[in-house]
Amino acid sequence: MAESSMFRVPQTIGHILCCKCGVPIVPNGANMCVTCLRSEVDITEGLKKHVIIMHCPECDSYFEPPRTWIKAQLESKELLKFCIGKLGDLNKKVRLVDASFVWTEPHSKRIKVKLTVQKEVLNGAILEQSYVVEYVQQDHMCESCTRIQANPDQWVAAVQLRQHVPHRRTFFYLEQLILKHGAASQAIKIKQVDEGIDFFFANRSHAMRFVEFVGKVTPLRNRHDKQLVSHDPKSNNYNYKYTFSVEICPICREDLICLPPKVATSLGNLGPIVICTKVTDRIALLDPFTLRHCFLSADQYWRVPFKSLFTSRQFVEYIVLDVEPVSNEVDFGGTKYKLADVQVARKSDFGRNDNIFYVRTHLGHLLNAGDYALGYDIYGANSNDMELDKYRGLTLPDAILVKKSYGEKHEKKRGKARPWKLKSLEMEVDESKGRSDNDKMASEYEGFLRDLEENPELRFNISLYRNREYQPSENASMTTGDDLPSVPLEELLADLDISDDEDEENNMRD
Amino acid sequence: MATRLMFENSCEVGVFSKLTNAYCLVAIGGSESFYSTFEAELADHIPVVKTSIAGTRIVGRICAGNKNGLLLPHNTTDQELQHLRNSLPDQVVVQRVDERLSALGNCIACNDHVALTHTDLDRETEELIADVLGVEVFRQTIAGNILVGSYCTFSNRGGLVHPHTSIEDLDELSTLLQVPLVAGTVNRGSEVIAAGMVVNDWTAFCGADTTATELSVIESVFKLREAQPTAIVDEMRKSLIDSYV
């Protein structure tokens, strides 16, 4: 039968009198009321009620032996955790049920924590009791604050980044990358010097991390050294100053390179004249006549280091007169190239004499008659390159076009604000070498910004911020023919403005 | 009237003594003050007998009895049996019981009319109890414990049971026993009532740890305050004495 459940009498527990004071209570393990039980048994006996903790007033952190300092605000979760940890292993004696802070005046140097604990007493009755633990804060400066106080400019590790080229484009780009990834967040000081930047760190591991980061974005070689600062013979502690000397390879984008014969053969007989298309942790080289691509890693480069034949400073502007495509459009890793035979004339020659050059170029997909292009004028150049001399019977073309130019339109645009802006690192500028050529720097920076506009893949790793001051003028949108390449609005990040005004926070959603 | 005492520094008086309306058994050993406390109270009215049972001192827990009889475990020696037969009044039937559960004091709780027993007691023993003690026998549990003889104690006037007994159980037992019952503790919160105290119709003896509250509960439920021993004993004497010669 399904419902043969036993009839159970409902049991109501009656009341008995507490054996000590006689108040009616529900029977428990000790058969005493809670007050009598409390008066008999004190479960907080033997627990610490008074503890001394060390506090660093400079950085507001608390000392956790043997060596760490824990940063915590007053009445915060971390401080509560730290304080409870200081009481020793509570779980062996009682069960902790609740813990909270009791307010104390911050200047009193006392922290009070109220703990509620439970313990089993006298035949199974569980008693719960609250008690207050008082912590006395003693002020004691932590090691790092002491060091900073003693000598504010003290650094332990330094990274010296150098690139032996006359322009600073790489460093502008590197600066943006560093900002985006926060690689220099632990740097004490950043100093800008001739042909490079110095970074100073408080910790050797921070410096190593920074060097590795840079190594991922540029091909470099480095060496490190250390210098003994102090030495404690008794405990055998040695304090050093570490220096990392990092050299970035001098090949930049859009450089024309003549490869040394060894390198050319190792790369599969890549024509000795190549253009560098991209520099990341590897150098991408493109042969403009065969449209062959290859990559050179950092160690491969530094094994046989070579210099560029022409750098982008030596660009000459050409006018394209005629384009004859030779091959079909090919796609190498996202960039399209098309071989074409073009008729060009130097801008300086145009209209003045009849110097026309017939050259083969890889920019057939971009150029049309009447366009402007930037390239290297080999016909008119007197290159003094040793590598070039090693090749016998090498015929050089008169000119090599590297990129399309928007020269005239840029003329119009000069002086107009851009809808986006970049942040910059706080750097000290070293004035001692007399290199304070601000105009040159400004024009290089402008060139860098223009580069960013034209190349979406360059923008990939960088954060661009919306420029609030930008007001598009009414007659700006009269582009005829080609559209000037510009940064689409979707790529821009709204600048996070952390101010007291809370409305600003909403702007992040734009 | 309730008295507080100790046996050899232990407050478990009910282990070392057995008190009924007709006699009192006390364990040997320890200081004479234990015996003399009983004597001072009871000697005028009932015999106080010093004995051991089965060679042990725990006389309170291994024998069960009332004014009509006394039941002893199977391992009681013949000398003890004889000694008891000699010392106790003639109308008290002293009987040795052959029972697997030999701690009869823990298994049987009785007064002069009703007895509560351990649920697993033999059928023959139950009949023997009904015969010898002249009582009605009920198998019961107290607050889920089967050792009824340990967790409750009752006289003809009232009874004290384990503190965790529910109200329904209390009502049920009260109707069975026909005496008022109360749930309480003895010896400062101890739940083992019968080990902590002994009681008869006019007096009680409790362990020294018993608090004033517990003592007042005991005195009120067993109605000890107005109890006069002489009246009760005289009644008994009348039925005992046939004639004066």
State whether B168 and A12 contact (CB < 8 Å).
yes
Q: Report the DSSP beta bridge partners of residue A400.
A: A376
pLDDT at residue B177, as a whole number: 93
Chain A residues touching B188 at Cβ < 8 A: 19-20
pLDDT at residue B6, as a whole number: 92
Closest residue of chain B to A10, computed from CA coordinates: B168
Q: What is this structure's pTM?
A: 0.53
Whole-angstrom Cα distance, residue B154 to residue B131? 20
Task: Could you list the beta-strand ranges (E) of B127-223.
Answer: 136-139, 152-154, 159-161, 181-183, 197-199, 204-207
Q: Which among B164, B214, B217 has CB closest to A27?
A: B164
* Residue A363 near residue A373 (C-beta atoms within 8 A): yes
Looking at mean pLDDT, say which of A35-44, A91-100, A344-353 comes out highest: A91-100
Q: Which among B169, B183, B188 has CB closest to A19?
A: B188
Whole-angstrom Cα distance, residue A163 to residue A307? 12
pLDDT at residue B242, as a whole number: 55
Rounded mean pLDDT, A463-480 = 57
State whether B163 and A9 contact (CB < 8 Å).
no
- Greater model confidence, A473 or A11: A11
From the centroid of its chain, how far is CA A58? 27
pLDDT at residue A408, as a whole number: 60
Is A124 in the B-facing interface, judged by CB distances under 8 Å?
A: no
User: To the nearest whole angstrom, how far is the Cα of B161 from the nearest Cα of chain A?
Assistant: 11
> Above 70 in pLDDT, residue A496?
no
State whether B163 and A16 contact (CB < 8 Å).
yes
Whole-angstrom Cα distance, residue B148 to residue A284? 96
Is B200 in the A-facing interface, judged by CB distances under 8 Å?
A: no
> Above 90 in pLDDT, residue B93?
yes
- Greater model confidence, A29 or B161: B161
> Above 60 in pLDDT, residue A508?
no
> Above 80 in pLDDT, residue A223?
yes
Chain B residues touching A14 at Cβ < 8 A: 165-167, 170, 183
Q: What does pLDDT average to over chain A? A: 80
* Residue B224 DSSP class: -
Residues A108-127: tens digit of each pLDDT: 999 999 999 988 887 777 88
- Per-residue confidence at A4, pLDDT binned at 50, 70, 90? low
- Greater model confidence, A188 or A478: A188
Whole-angstrom Cα distance, residue B42 to residue B30? 19
Whole-angstrom Cα distance, residue B183 to residue B191? 10
State whether B163 and A27 contact (CB < 8 Å).
yes
Q: Which among A22, A30, A122 has CB closest to B213?
A: A22
Residues B48-69: tens digit of each pLDDT: 999 999 999 999 999 999 999 9
Rounded mean pLDDT, A428-454 = 71
Closest residue of chain B to A37, computed from CA coordinates: B189
- Per-residue confidence at B228, pLDDT binned at 50, 70, 90? low
User: To the nearest whole angstrom, how far is the Cα of A33 from the nearest Cα of chain B?
Assistant: 10
pLDDT at residue A400, as a whole number: 85
**Nearest-10 Cα torsion for A386, A391, A393, A395:** -70
pLDDT at residue A409, as a whole number: 61
Residues A340-360: tens digit of each pLDDT: 888 888 888 777 777 888 888
Closest residue of chain B to A33, computed from CA coordinates: B189
> Above 90 in pLDDT, residue B27?
yes
pLDDT at residue B76, as a whole number: 95
Determine which of A278-282, A324-328, A429-433 has the lowest per-residue pLDDT on average.
Answer: A429-433
Looking at mean pLDDT, say which of A47-61, B202-216, B228-242 comes out highest: B202-216
Judged by phi (left if over 0) then psi (alpha if -120 to 50, else beta), residue B83 lies in alpha
Is A125 in the B-facing interface, judged by CB distances under 8 Å?
A: no
Return the closest-CA partner of residue B21 out of B174, B203, B242.
Answer: B203
Residues A369-398: tens digit of each pLDDT: 888 888 888 887 777 777 777 777 677 788
Instruction: Tell me how far CA of residue A250 lies from CA of A210, A263, A492, in angstroms.
Output: 20, 16, 31
Return the closest-CA partner of residue A378 out of A426, A447, A310.
Answer: A310
pLDDT at residue A252, as a whole number: 86
* Residue A395 DSSP class: P
Looking at mean pLDDT, say which of A16-20, A318-322, B95-99, B227-231 comes out highest: B95-99
Rounded mean pLDDT, A171-196 = 85
pLDDT at residue A273, as a whole number: 86
Signed CA dihedral, A95, A98, A99, A104: sign only: negative
User: To the nearest whole angstrom, how far is the Cα of B20 from the nearest Cα of chain A?
Assistant: 26
Rounded mean pLDDT, B137-146 = 92
pLDDT at residue A510, as a whole number: 39
Signed CA dihedral, A254, A258, A259, A260: sign only: negative
Is A122 in the B-facing interface, judged by CB distances under 8 Å?
A: yes
- Per-residue confidence at A482, pLDDT binned at 50, 70, 90? very low
State whether A16 and B185 contact (CB < 8 Å).
yes
> Above 50 in pLDDT, residue A504?
no
Residues A287-307: tens digit of each pLDDT: 888 888 888 888 888 888 888
- Greater model confidence, A50 or A148: A50
State whether A32 and B189 contact (CB < 8 Å).
yes
